[in-house]
């Protein structure tokens, strides 16, 4: 990740459902671009992407419920609940319409949002691509989802030192590059006693991960906005054939390959920004 950054504002609002929501804002011209992180992610993980976009968009990146500096209330932590949060966020900060892009959890939220609130979304970008389990929830896929949820529930989130946390991240996230891991350590952990702790609620995250087995095809069928599956060119999550098959679930979807694997906003933020910019220009113009 680049060490250069674009000036941003850090804010917190309370939504009409009582949720305290923390977010980052990079002012710029319209269109609005709202970026949604994955499970156990954080809003600031998009800062290199926002920097690469320059002053092309007015960018918002949220700490979604259960994550970062946002609240962790009781709830089902489904994509539907997160999408309702997003709708209330739009109303609270005065966003009428926006392009929404998200990875993993963020992508699931965007898929539901596009179907339930079609008047508020101009286009949808699925960074890294959607999970196959949300479109083909076979017994094998469900087992994978439940195992992922259990691993999160049992994962370590408190560490005696920053060095211990970094060592754990290197083991838990072997695909991530060193700069990405250090960024995560810097911005997704907080001092706790003499050590550090992750800035997400692993119980809430585990609950959210279980929803990766929810069938989202019904939402794809209702969505009318342009959709881009921004697939990593050497993805370990989604093959080109799977991307093409899933894209057919929407009436207006394309697959765009971006150099990288899955967490493109951390691996190749410049390439992701370029892909988002081209897609947005076509979507807004169309």
pLDDT in tens, 153-170: 999 999 999 999 999 999
What is the overall mean pLDDT for the chain?
Answer: 96
Q: Which domains does the chain have, with CATH numbers?
A: 9-135+214-285 (3.40.50.1820)
- pLDDT for res 109: 98
**Interior/surface letters 83-92, b for 16+ CB within 10 angstroms, e for the rest:** bbbbbbbbee
Looking at residues 237-266, what average pLDDT do you find?
Answer: 96
Q: What is the pTM of this model?
A: 0.96
The answer to whether 113 and 86 have CB atoms below 8 angstroms apart is yes
- 28 neighbors 8 (Cβ within 8 angstroms): no
CA nearest 102: which of 75, 83, 77, 76? Answer: 83
Please state which of the ranges 12-16, 72-76, 196-200, 236-240 shows the lowest mean pLDDT: 236-240
pLDDT above 50: residue 9: yes
Q: What is the pLDDT of residue 4?
A: 63
Q: How confident is the model at residue 2 (pLDDT cuts 50, 70, 90)?
A: very low
User: 3-state DSSP call for residue 209?
Assistant: helix
**How wide is the angle at C-alpha 93 spanned by C-alphas 89 and 99, nearest 5°?**
65
């Amino acid at each position: 990740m680049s060490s250069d950054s674009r000036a941003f504002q850090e804010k917190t609002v309370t939504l009409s459902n009582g949720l305290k929501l923390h977010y980052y804002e990079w002012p710029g011209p319209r269109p609005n671009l709202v970026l949604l992180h994955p499970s156990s992610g954080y809003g600031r993980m998009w800062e290199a992407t926002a920097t690469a976009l320059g002053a092309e968009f007015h960018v918002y990146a949220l700490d979604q419920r259960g994550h970062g500096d946002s609240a962790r209330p009781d709830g089902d932590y489904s994509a539907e609940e997160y999408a309702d949060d997003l709708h209330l966020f739009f109303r609270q900060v005065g966003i009428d319409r926006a392009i929404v892009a998200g990875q993993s959890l963020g992508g699931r939220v965007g898929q539901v949002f596009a179907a339930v609130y079609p008047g508020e979304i101009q286009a949808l970008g699925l960074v890294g691509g959607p999970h196959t389990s949300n479109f083909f929830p076979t017994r094998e896929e469900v087992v994978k989802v439940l195992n992922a949820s259990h691993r999160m529930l049992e994962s370590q989130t408190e560490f005696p030192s920053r060095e211990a946390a970094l060592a754990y991240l290197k083991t838990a996230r072997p695909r991530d590059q060193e700069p990405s891991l250090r960024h995560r350590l810097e911005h997704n952990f907080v001092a706790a006693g003499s050590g550090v702790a992750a800035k997400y609620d692993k119980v809430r995250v585990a609950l959210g991960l279980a929803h990766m087995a929810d069938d989202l095809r019904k939402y794809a069928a209702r969505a009318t906005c342009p959709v881009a599956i921004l697939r990593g060119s050497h993805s370990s999550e989604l093959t080109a054939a799977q991307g093409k098959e899933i894209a057919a679930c929407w009436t207006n979807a394309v697959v765009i390959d971006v150099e990288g694997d899955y967490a493109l906003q951390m691996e190749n933020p410049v390439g992701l920004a370029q892909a988002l910019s081209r897609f947005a220009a076509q979507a807004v113009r169309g």
